């Protein structure tokens, strides 16, 4: 599902529309597997039907509370980059939306733990002039590519990069002659 076009200004278009990285729902999914495996073992062991029913009820509560709710929160969290602003939106019944105009972003900081680097995700901190600290966007998938694109959106390069050659001093030619 794309971001609603009716919430954008007339000259604005969506550049990237992301959801948080899947690591945000890894542990809830692992818990789902454990609960289902436990219920499967209890059923296979032919436990008393009352005890099995109680275990199933507890399993259902665990699945709803620790899997379905985080899954819905993850799915309804949007990270949208347009040519004019960064929009973060989360919530099902009540929504929380933050808009950060691109022209107000003065610095972008990318944070990645070792685990985040392995998974290719991370956190972006967008600094803007004002009294509050930077706005943090956590669990950004493909965070390095997003960071590059965000820098392009904040400060579009008016001069395209020129091809480098060995004669302009920016590169060196290595000689492979061993004579």
Res. 52 pLDDT band, cuts 50 70 90: confident
139-176 pLDDT per residue, tens: 999 999 999 999 999 887 644 555 555 555 555 555 55
Mean pLDDT of the chain: 87
Res. 72 pLDDT band, cuts 50 70 90: very high
Phi, psi (deg, nearest 5) at residue 145: -65, -40
What does the pLDDT read at residue 59?
92
What does the pLDDT read at residue 167?
59
User: Distance (Å, rounded) from C-alpha 51 to C-alpha 55?
Assistant: 6
- pLDDT over threshold 80, residue 103: yes
Q: Which carries the bigger pLDDT value, residue 48 or residue 118?
A: 118
Which of 6-37 are b and which e, b meaning 16 or more Cβ less than 10 Å from the residue's Cβ? Answer: eebeeeeeebbebbbbeebbeebeebbeebee
Lowest-confidence region among 102-111, 120-129, 157-166: 157-166
What does the pLDDT read at residue 44?
87
- pLDDT over threshold 70, residue 179: no
CA distances for 62 relative to 55, 58, 65, angstroms = 10, 6, 5
Spatial strand order of the sheet with 85-90 comes to: 14-18, 78-82, 85-90, 96-101
> CB–CB of 124/108 below 8 Å?
yes
Give the mean model confidence (pLDDT) for residues 19-27.
96
pTM for this entry: 0.77
């Amino acid at each position: 599902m794309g971001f609603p076009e009716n919430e954008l200004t007339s000259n604005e278009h969506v550049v990237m529309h992301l959801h948080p990285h899947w690591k945000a729902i890894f542990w809830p999914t692992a818990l789902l597997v454990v609960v289902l495996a436990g219920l499967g073992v209890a059923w296979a062991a032919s436990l008393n039907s009352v005890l099995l029913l109680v275990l199933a009820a507890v399993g259902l509560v665990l699945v709803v509370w620790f899997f379905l709710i985080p899954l819905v929160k993850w799915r309804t969290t949007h990270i949208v980059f347009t040519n004019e602003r960064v929009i973060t939106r989360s919530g099902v019944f009540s929504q929380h939306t933050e808009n950060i105009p691109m022209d107000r972003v003065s610095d972008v900081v990318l944070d990645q733990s070792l685990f985040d680097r392995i998974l290719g995700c991370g956190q972006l901190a967008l600094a803007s002039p004002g009294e509050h600290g930077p706005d943090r966007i956590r669990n950004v998938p493909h965070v390095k590519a997003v960071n590059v694109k965000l820098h392009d959106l904040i400060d579009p390069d008016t001069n395209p990069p020129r091809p480098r050659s060995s004669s302009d001093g920016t590169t060196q030619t290595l000689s492979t002659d061993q004579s």
